[in-house]
Amino acid sequence: MGKPRSIDRNQVLDAAEEIIERNGAAALTIDAVAKAVGISKGGVQSCFGAKHNLVNAMLERWGKHYDACFEKTAGAAAEQLSSVEQVKTHVRITATEEALIARAACHLSAMLESKDQKDWVRAWHAERLGKLDVATEEGRRARVAYLAVEGAFMLRYFGLAEMSEQEWRDAFHDIEQLAGG
Q: Provide the CATH number for the domain formed by 7-49 in this structure.
A: 1.10.10
pTM of structure: 0.75
Alpha carbon distance 90, 10 (integer Å): 25
Annotated domain spans of the chain? 7-49, 59-178
pLDDT tens per residue across span 115-169: 887 888 888 889 989 999 999 999 999 999 999 998 988 888 777 888 898 998 9
pLDDT tens per residue across span 91-119: 888 888 877 777 777 666 666 667 887 88
pLDDT tens per residue across span 57-100: 988 888 899 999 999 999 999 999 999 999 999 988 888 887 77
